[in-house]
Amino acid sequence: MAAYRFSHLAAVVFAIIALLQLLRAIWGFEIAVAGEIIPLWPSWIAAFVAGFLAYLGFTASR
């Protein structure tokens, strides 16, 4: 697989993750892991980080 294709694929995956994290943070979906409810604030951080990684991937795939 060529490097630009890998960068583009990774960027798409990170963009989807960023969108899902953003939707969770906005709509307030609850997620429970081993009976513990995960707070919403980590979703804001995860959305920002995944969005930034998607941006880097899209710029690297040009």
pLDDT confidence tier of residue 1, bands split at 50, 70 and 90: confident
What pLDDT, in 10s, does the model give residues 7-30?
Answer: 999 999 999 999 999 999 999 999
pTM above 0.85, yes or no: yes
Identify the H or E element spanning 38.
strand 36-38
Return the DSSP state at 60.
H
| Of 23, 55, 52, the residue nearest 40 (C-alpha) | 23
d(CA 18, CA 14): 6
Buried b (16+ CB within 10 A) or exposed e, 8-18: bebbeebbebb
Q: Count Cα atoms within 13 angstroms, Cβ side, for 48.
A: 4
